[in-house]
Amino acid sequence: MVQPATEDVWARVAEARKADVYRAVAAAREAFDRGPWPRMPHAERARYLRAIADGLRARAADLSYIWASEMGILHVDAVARGARIPGIYDFYAGLADSFEFVERHEPAGGGYGWLVREPVGVVGAIIPWNAAIVAMSWKIAPALLAGCTVVLKSAPEAPVAAYLLAEVAEQAHLPAGVLNIITAEREVSEELVRHPGIDKVSFTGSTAAGKRIAGICAETGGPGQPRARRQVRGADPRRLRHRRRRGVPGRVGHRAHRTGMLGAHPGHREQAPARRAGGGAERRVPQGAGR
C-alpha cells in the first residue's frame, strides 16, 4: 500500500488466491450450517454488533489514519466521518428490538398466516476502494443482525480498514467463521461470486464490474446459487441544495455522481435545467476517464 501524500509504502497485505476464497467460504458455510450464529435470538446477535461499535470507537484514531492513508481523504474529514461508523452497527443492533421479524397477517377471506424473515445464508460482500469502511459496514451490520455469515472481499487498493474491522470483531468474540475477510484482484474475486456455497452476493462498485457479477450470477443461477444485489457507485440522484457554497472544497479524492437524475429544490426548479446544461458544458469529462 502506497500512501498518496508521501508515496511511501506504509502497509502490506496478503493477496488472496483461489484456495483462500474456498477456505473463507467453507468457514462461513460451516458457521451458518452448523454454528450457533443463525440460531441465536436477534437480541443476542445485537450485543455483538454493539461490541463491534464500541471497538470501532476505541480504534477511532487508527481508523482515521488508515482512511486517509488508503485513499487520500483529508485527515480532518476522515476523523469526522469515521466517528459516524460505529453508529451503523448501533442502528442495526437497535432493530433487534423494534423490527418485526415475524408478522401475523389475516387476509380478508379469513384465517391467518405468518410472515417470517429468516437469514438468507452465506453472503459474499464485495466493496470498492473509496470509503471502504462505510461500504463494508452497511453490508456487514444488517447481514450479521439477520443471522447471515459473511465473506467480505475488499479492494486491493484499500484493504487495511477491513483488517482493522477483523481485529475489532475478534476482540468482540464474534464466533469463528461468521465474518471472513479477503483481499483479491478481479479474477480471484469472481471465484467468490461463482462459489456454490454463496447464497447471496452484495456488490457496490463500478457499472462494468456490476454487469460482470450479474452475468456470472445469471450463468450459475438456480437452487443454492447466489442471488445478486448491486449498487453502482453514485446512483443516488444529484440534488440542487438551497444553500450557498463558501470557501474551498472540504475534501480531496474521488466522489461518485450520477447526473442522469436531478432533484431540484422547489425554489430552483425553473432554473435547474439551465444550470444543469451549463454545468455539463463547463465540466465535460471524457468517457472512460474514471475507474
The CA distance from 14 to 253, in Å, is 25
Q: C-alpha 56: how far from its chain's center?
A: 16
Residue-wise DSSP of 182-207: EE--HHHHHHHHH-TT--EEEEEE-H
Residue 122, class by beta-carbon neighbours within 10 Å (0-12 exposed, 13-18 middle, 19+ buried)?
buried
- Nearest CA to 71 out of 20, 5, 125 is that of 5
Residue 258, class by beta-carbon neighbours within 10 Å (0-12 exposed, 13-18 middle, 19+ buried)?
middle
Domains and CATH numbers, the chain: 18-97+119-232 (3.40.605.10)
CA geometry: angle 116, 122, 127, nearest 5 deg: 115
pLDDT average, residue stretch 229-234: 52
Q: What pLDDT does 287 receive?
A: 45
Q: What pLDDT does 137 receive?
A: 97
* pTM, two decimal places: 0.78
Arithmetic mean of pLDDT over the chain: 83
The CA distance from 196 to 41, in Å, is 27
64: enclosing H helix or E strand: helix 60-71
Q: Which three cell numbers stand for residue 47?
A: 450485543
The number of C-alpha atoms within 13 Å of 202 and in the hemisphere containing its C-beta is 21
Residue 247, class by beta-carbon neighbours within 10 Å (0-12 exposed, 13-18 middle, 19+ buried)?
exposed
Q: What pLDDT does 230 receive?
A: 53
Local confidence band at 223 (pLDDT 50, 70, 90 cut-offs): very low
